[in-house]
Every structure is written in C-alpha cells, then in structure tokens.
Amino acid sequence: MATVTFDNATRQYPGNPVPSVDKLNIEIADGEFLVLVGPSGCGKSTSLRMLAGLEEVNGGRILIGDRDVTNLSPKDRDVAMVFQNYALYPHMTVADNMGFALKIAGVDKGEIRKRVEEAAKILDLTPYLDRKPKALSGGQRQRVAMGRAIVRSPQVFLMDEPLSNLDAKLRVQTRTQIASLQRRLGVTTVYVTHDQVEAMTMGDRVAVLKDGILQQCDSPRRMYDHPANVFVAGFIGSPAMNLMDVPVTEGGVDLHGHTVPIAREDLAGVGNHVTLGVRPEDLDLSSDASGIPVTVDVVEELGADAYIYGTADAKLLEATGENAGAVPFIARVDGRRPPEKGEKIYLKPKTGHVHVFNADSGLRVGD
C-alpha cells in the first residue's frame, strides 16, 4: 500500500493555451478512498490518467509512496486501473480475464489460479469463472474488471467512472459494494465520477475540480457544511443549494424585509452585497409574509418530505445571473402538508444554517 501525492501536477495539451490540469496539489493517505468529481471537462479523468502514466505531466510531479513516478511508464507504477467500458477480452473466460495480467508477468499458473479464486470469492464471481463475458450482466462484467485489478495486488487502485454504464438501481448497489470492498482491502483508491451523489456516498474525501483547478478537497460532511466557494456550494448537494445576491444591512443581510443575522466580523470588507447560500432543507415556511417570496411551480411529493420547485423575484435573487423575471428556487417542506401549485409562499432560512460568500471573489466568508 502507498500514499499518493500530486505536487503542482500540470497537464497542458499542445495547442491549448489553458492547462487541462493546473498545478494540482493533493496528498492522499495510505488506504484512503479519494473521489475526484466535477463537471465534464474539469480535468478529473486527465488527473487520473496522469497518475496512471497514460498522460504526460508537463509540470510538477507525482509520487506513489516516496517514489517519484512522474516519468515512469504505466507498467512500472504498480497501479491497477478499472475503466468505464470494462475492457474485457470477449474470447476469454472470466478466470482468464482476471488472471491475464499475471500470466503476462510470468506468474506461476498455480499462483494465478489461487489469486483468481480468492478475488472471485470476494466479488461473488465463483460460479461464473468458466463463463465468457457475453454471458454476464453489466454489473457482473464490472466486477470481473475489478477482480482483474485485485489479483494484481497493486499499491493503488484507479477507477475511471466504472459505474456509468450501469442502470440506476445497479449503480447504487455496486457503489456500495465498491466502497465496502475498498475498506476491506485497505488499498489506496482514486475514483473519478461526474456524479456528486456518488462522490459524497463513497469517498473518505472528495476533491472538486473546475476548469482544471482544484476548488476544495475535504470530507463529504465538511464540504457539504462548509463549501469553500460559490461553485462548490452549488455543485455539492442534491437538490442544489439556493444562491442569492442580497444587500448587507445592520446586523446581517436583508431578505425582503427579513434580516438574516450575520456576525459583523464576517461581513468586514465585503462591500454592500454578498452572495447568500441556503440549502433546501434549511428553509422554513414563514407566516408573516417576510422572507423570500416564492411562487410554487411544482410539488414533488416523496412521502414524509416534499420538495417545492418554485420561482423567486429576480430583483431579490441576482446571484444566478438569470435575466428572466423570476429565478428557480427549491425548498424541502413537510410532505403531509405541502403548499399547492401556484400558491405564493414566503421562506426564511433557519438561524445558523446560511452560507455567506464574497459577491466578487465567490470565496466563503467567515467559518
């Protein structure tokens, strides 16, 4: 097992003036499960491929343990990669697929069989060892691809969106299996996904990238409760955080006549406006027509809870950059007494559950 270090690692493709990965700095602990997440084109897969040796590193370096692997070939890095498309050999059995890398490395047949059978037992693949990939389901094929990585006993597992070809139900089931398996094996794992729910439920830590730049690397809980900037705040969480541009007033910020208390020291030097963030579950229905006026468009009933999807006055909520007369707003309410579609309601943030960001830089203000 080993630690992994990205030390100012940079990848810039020829002809592209902007680096795809720009001075990435992350230290991954021995046995840690780190998830790289972000929108398409943010540099997460490129970062993984740099670690695997499949992409050139144009600046900085990458270490596995104490060894600088920046200029080593993939086969000399002692990593195993699980791809999105399984990459199984169709003419080989499951057992042969899982043991192929060991066969190429000249490992004894008896040792190969032993390792394959051990991995198959862990992954519940024992009954399928003599089958060909075409006789397996998508979830089973993905487990074979993982088995192929496990038998090599690498220092680091690399997984590039391994669940994206599975249906929704199987994704949930398989991501639980992967997280459980990784904790049992204790192998340092770097996992790439565009699904922030997947990232939050699987990772010991989550690293959010945007335009090749690391935005925040933290535990899922810390990232949810203390996003470092507006981008992380809007990206992490489902449904997304509501963001609004509001004026600073005496004792806090003003929300359509309702003052949200913010410590004076947290508002020092931020100007006349701040970007205020509040999650859907941190809003209460107001009975005195103060707070955020929202017209209900859709009520999504989920049993005990209901989500209100509505529109709020754009003059009050400018942070979204919308030019329309109204902007989207989401709130979670009691599922047994939800408002009616078309109804106008007022919402107040719960005390102590708001997030304040500098309106110019987008950076978090205060704790």
* Residue 344: CB atoms within 10 Å: 11
Residues in CB range of 83: below 8 A, 6 or more apart: 145, 160, 162
pLDDT given for residue 168 in this prediction: 82
Inside any domain, residue 149: yes
DSSP states of 296-322: EEEEEE-SSEEEEEEEEETTT--TT--
Q: Are 111 and 101 in contact (CB under 8 A)?
A: no
Q: 40 and 164: one domain?
A: yes
The CA R_g of the chain, rounded to the nearest whole Å, is 24
pLDDT at 297: 93
- Other Cβ atoms less than 10 A from the Cβ of 358: the count is 17
Last-in-domain residue among 199, 230, 261: 230
Return the structure tokens found at 261: 């208390």
**Domain membership flag for residue 50:** yes
Helix orientation angle between 138-150 and 94-104, rounded to the nearest 10 degrees = 30
> What is the CB neighbour count within 10 angstroms for residue 139?
18
Compute the distance between CA of residue 41 and CA of residue 115 in angstroms, rounded to an integer: 37
Q: What is the pLDDT of residues 202-231, one digit of tens each?
A: 999 999 999 999 999 999 999 999 999 999
Establish if 235 belongs to a structural domain: no
Structural domain harbouring 115: 4-230
Question: Which of residues 230, 250, 275 is at a domain's end?
Answer: 230
Q: Encode burial over 147-161: b for 16+ CB neighbours within 10 A, e otherwise.
A: bbbbbbebbbbbbbb
Q: Residue 192's CB: how many other CB atoms inside 10 A?
A: 25
Same domain assignment for residues 259 and 340: yes
Other CB atoms within 10 A of residue 127 CB: 9
How far apart, in whole angstroms, are the C-alpha atoms of residue 181 and residue 160? 17
What CATH number corresponds to the domain at position 132? 3.40.50.300
Q: Is residue 365 part of a domain?
A: no
- Three-state DSSP class for residue 202: helix
Could you tell me which residues are beta bridge partners of residue 61? 7
Strand partners, 346: 293
Residue of 119, 122, 149, 123 lying closest to 136 (CA atoms): 123
For residue 265, what pLDDT is reported?
78
Q: What angle do CA 66, 67, 70 make, to 5 degrees?
A: 130
- CATH of residue 267's domain is 2.40.50.140
Q: Which regions in the chain score pLDDT beneath 70?
A: 1, 257, 313-326
What pLDDT, on the 0 to 100 scale, is given for residue 314?
A: 53
Look at residue 309 and tell me if it is in a domain: yes
Q: For residue 261, say if its preceding peptide bond is cis, omega within 30 degrees of 0.
A: no
Whether residue 12 is found in the same domain as residue 124: yes
Please indicate, yes or no, if residue 153 is contained in any of the structural domains.
yes
Gap between the Cα atoms of 206 and 220, Å rounded: 6
Q: Which pLDDT does position 232 carry in this prediction?
A: 96
Tokens of 184: 């049992």
Based on the domain organization, do 245 and 302 belong to the same domain?
A: yes
pTM: 0.88
Give me 309's structure tokens: 């999807």
Indicate whether 22 and 153 sit together in one domain: yes
Same domain, yes or no: 176 and 252: no
Task: Establish if 335 belongs to a structural domain.
Answer: yes
The reply to whether 132 and 219 lie within a common domain is: yes
Q: How many independent structural domains does the chain possess?
A: 2
Q: Where are the beta strands (DSSP E) in the chain?
A: 4-11, 21-28, 33-37, 59-64, 67-68, 79-82, 156-160, 188-193, 205-210, 213-218, 242-249, 252-255, 258-261, 273-278, 283-285, 292-301, 305-313, 326-334, 344-349, 355-358
- Same domain? For 57 and 157 the reply is yes
